[in-house]
């Protein structure tokens, strides 16, 4: 196994009432890469992330992050990770700044450190001028940017982004992409889930395609698409149909 692997997911499994939501998933993520989990709704992407982020007990297998097992040493793992959940996880009635400062303090930052980090991260997602506004008043895209900025408060080495662009306007989407690419350039390792092929294509160095709790393909976006012909026209729909013989909307 290469020196550079920062994350090792080994035969990871999760059962909900006997149903295997994640059924023997394995992949490695190299330090500093953006790794994509691509799959339709219900494929098991979020369940995988929740186990990797220590918030959901695992049924089987293990995840090693920076040398620490999520299930033997969750506290050490938490120091290394930042999570941007699929659903907004923030306080709508508070300002953007108050949200960031609060979560920063929960990460153990002093008040001054938290304030400084909050302003830096709001700058990063393009909301510095709205810092003191209530999040409830924000557009869907702006709320998602706050959701992302919160995940950066502890300067994570590994960042989980669970469908961060769902229901987002093009302007916010571009802001989010710029932020992600900036973080990668600074050396942050990123796990990015989506069901949009073109997003994975733009951002990810490698992609694992998931279906029904399993990884059914793992390669670079270009290689995945080349199997089917013109890489500029291939969509997740095509790849999925090719791999499973089913249409996306029938999946899950």
Binding site for another protein (CB under 8 A): 16, 50, 53-57, 75, 78-79, 81-83, 85, 87-91, 93-94, 98, 102-103, 105-111, 113, 134, 150, 154
SS3 38: strand
The answer to the question of residue 194 lying near ligand ADP (CB under 6 A) is no
The answer to the question of residue 46 lying near Mg ion (CB under 5 A) is yes
> According to CB under 5 A, which residues from 74 to 113 bind Mg ion?
86
CB closer to ligand ADP out of 34 and 101: 34
The answer to the question of residue 58 lying near ligand ADP (CB under 6 A) is no
Angle (CA) 156-158-163 rounded to 5° is 105
DSSP code for 6: E
CB closer to ligand ADP out of 28 and 46: 46
The answer to the question of residue 13 lying near ligand ADP (CB under 6 A) is no
DSSP 124-192: HTT-GGGTTSBGGGS-HHHHHHHHHHHHTTT--SEEEEESTTTT--HHHHHHHHHHHHHHHHTT-EEEE
Size of the site for ligand ADP (CB under 6 A): 10
Helix or strand holding residue 115 (H, E): helix 111-124
The contact set with Mg ion (CB under 5 A) reads 45-46, 86
* Contact residues for ligand ADP, defined by CB under 6 A: 16, 21, 39, 41-47
């Amino acid at each position: 196994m290469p020196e550079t692997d920062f994350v090792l997911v080994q035969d990871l499994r999760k059962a909900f009432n006997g149903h295997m939501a994640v059924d023997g998933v394995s992949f490695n993520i190299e330090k500093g890469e953006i790794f994509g989990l691509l799959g339709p709704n219900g494929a098991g992407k979020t369940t995988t992330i929740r186990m990797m982020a220590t918030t959901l007990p695992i049924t089987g297998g293990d995840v090693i992050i920076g040398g620490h097992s999520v299930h033997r040493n969750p506290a050490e793992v938490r120091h290394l990770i930042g999570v941007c959940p699929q659903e907004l996880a923030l306080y709508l009635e508070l300002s953007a700044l108050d949200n960031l400062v609060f979560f920063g303090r929960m990460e153990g930052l002093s008040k001054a450190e938290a304030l400084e980090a909050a302003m830096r991260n709001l700058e990063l997602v393009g909301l510095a001028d709205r810092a003191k506004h209530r999040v409830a008043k924000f557009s869907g895209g702006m709320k998602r940017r706050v959701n992302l900025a919160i995940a950066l408060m502890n300067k994570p080495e590994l960042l989980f982004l669970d469908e961060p662009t769902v229901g987002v306007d093009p302007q916010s989407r571009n802001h989010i992409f710029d932020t992600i690419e900036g973080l990668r350039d600074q050396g942050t390792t990123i796990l990015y889930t989506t069901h949009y092929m073109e997003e994975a294509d733009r951002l990810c160095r490698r992609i694992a395609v998931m279906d029904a709790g399993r990884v059914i393909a793992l390669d670079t976006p270009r290689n995945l698409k080349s199997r089917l012909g013109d890489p500029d026209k291939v969509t997740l729909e095509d790849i999925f149909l090719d791999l499973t013989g089913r249409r996306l909307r029938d999946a899950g």
